[in-house]
Structure 1
């Protein structure tokens, strides 16, 4: 194996590691965003509501909330719902802003509204800060 091969392998490993990390944080972002929405609508987010909205089983939502709590993004109280910490609120707001920019860009290039909303849900988690800034700058110039 040549030095160039080892370098290419290391670069590929770094890319795959980054993608795996992004997938893990995407789930946290989706849950914090949903919890923020439920809190705004109902004053709290119950596990049953989280599970129903995410389309997952109750134990799956419970496991995700436990991870949010370990990461310092959420808290819960007995016989009450799940609440976001300031860090969780910040994550939810950042995800919401990224989603809006990506959705607006897709709409600006002619993607139908329903597809833009759905596609933005996936793209928002994988777009780099530089790309997001370029999207926002494009949209600003367009308006």
Structure 2
């Protein structure tokens, strides 16, 4: 299937996709900060470079894009063009995520994933509900959490 935009326009569009400070990440960060949590961002010294690290709670939070990490939700759809490329890329991201979560756990960190669909789309959670659930997890003894 041919692309509907030119190669140059597609390149411009893809270059505009950020890996840090995304809208879902900013929603979570602002909400946690508003609740009084203090954290570090994008710790490169930890496996997987977690988006949000709360040392006081020994917790690392990843805010994952549903497309880029292959989440099974209404926001994810396999691309119709270059299917093998995208399948390999998205599956490699999932494998890398799993390895980072295991490595963090071995180092004594608790790990949470917040999916993009928790913050936007037809099935999003109200931000207060999402933040309450994250807060509950932070104060619990659970090693892992996934929202939603």
TM-score normalised per structure 2: 0.29
Decide which structure has greater helix share: 1
Decide which structure has greater strand share: 2
